[in-house]
Structure 1
Amino acid sequence: MNLALWIGAGLLAVVLLTGGVGKLIVPREKMAAMRGAGWTADFSVGFLKFLGAVEVLGAIGLILPAVTGIAPVLVPVAAVGVVVLMIGAMITHLRRGEVMSAAGNLVYLALAAFVAWGRFGPESFTG
């Protein structure tokens, strides 16, 4: 179970880091032209940068506290944050009729919920 939670947190961290860095460095106009990222045209540059920073911090929060042993309770807290982030992403995609993108967000939401449940419960770092 511990290995599955590490793999889940690692996968989520890669997804968040990739998406977050992209939002931080790719211009909005270029991003809006990319497949699956048309939603970015609906939001300001500032919001996209904020969202990118939140995603990068979420990726860090899923891994770094556990690796360093400093405040490992932040891992499930970060996972709950990812759940909230994915709910927002799903709402955005569903409003635009992007059902497949929302389905992908649902997969990430389920993975984040699994990590939160596991790290708050049976495989917590404090127990």
Structure 2
Amino acid sequence: MSVQSSSKPLRVALWVAQTLIFIAFILFGCMKLFLPVQQLASMWVWPGEVPEWFLRLMGAIDVAGGVGILLPALTRIQPRLGVLAALGCVVLQLAAIMFHSSRGEFAALPLNFILLALVSFILWGRGSKAPIAPRGQNV
């Protein structure tokens, strides 16, 4: 299906979702990458209870997911990478839901479910309903 054949409201909603995910994942990723563990542990319980390398790795994965959700679509360079990033973010949110549930951290789950809904919407929309055409390709 070409970009032109999808509805404008759907395309706008996808851009909004991609932007929100970009902001959220970059924000949370940079916090996990750069804030001291003690400061993060005062905001969330788990950062003080996992190895620091794990916390920093989660930050790097968040940043990569945020960039991957938006940059390929904006540049139209390999835009299918955005679909793969959305798939990775779906898997990440499912893992986060299992992680927080197993630890009894149920207060964290609403945010994870919201993020899961947004990245699932992006995966569905950019994967089949309103894909971004690669640069130089007319659809």
Which residue identity does 1:40 align to in structure 2? P
TM-score, normalization by structure 1 = 0.93
Kindly indicate whether residue 25 of structure 2 is the aligned counterpart of residue 16 of structure 1. Answer: yes
Superimposed CA distance per residue, residues 21-47 of structure 1 (whole angstroms, 9 cap, x where no aligned partner): 00111111221111xx11112211111
Find the counterpart in structure 2 of residue 46 from structure 1.
53
Superimposed CA distance per residue, residues 52-96 of structure 1 (whole angstroms, 9 cap, x where no aligned partner): 111111111111111111100011111111111111111121122
Runs (5+) with no aligned partner, structure 2: 1-9, 134-138
Runs (5+) with no aligned partner, structure 1: none
Counterpart secondary structure, 2:129: coil
Kindly indicate whether residue 129 of structure 2 is the aligned counterpart of residue 100 of structure 1. Answer: no
Which residue identity does 2:93 align to in structure 1? M
Q: CA deviation at 1:103?
A: 2.2
CA distance in 2, matches of 1:100, 1:44: 22
Q: Which of 95, 101, 116 in structure 1 is aligned with 2:123?
A: 116
After TM superposition, list the pairs within 5 Å mapping 1:58-69 onto structure 2: 58-69=65-76
Find the counterpart in structure 1 of residue 62 from structure 2.
55
Which residue identity does 1:46 align to in structure 2? W
Counterpart secondary structure, 1:55: helix
Q: CA RMSD in A?
A: 1.1
Greater relative contact order (Cα < 8 A, sep 6+): 2
* Structure number with larger C-alpha Rg: 2
Q: CA deviation at 1:109?
A: 0.4
Which residue identity does 2:25 align to in structure 1? L
Find the counterpart in structure 1 of residue 91 from structure 2.
84
CA distance in 1, matches of 2:127, 2:25: 21
TM-score, normalization by structure 2 = 0.85
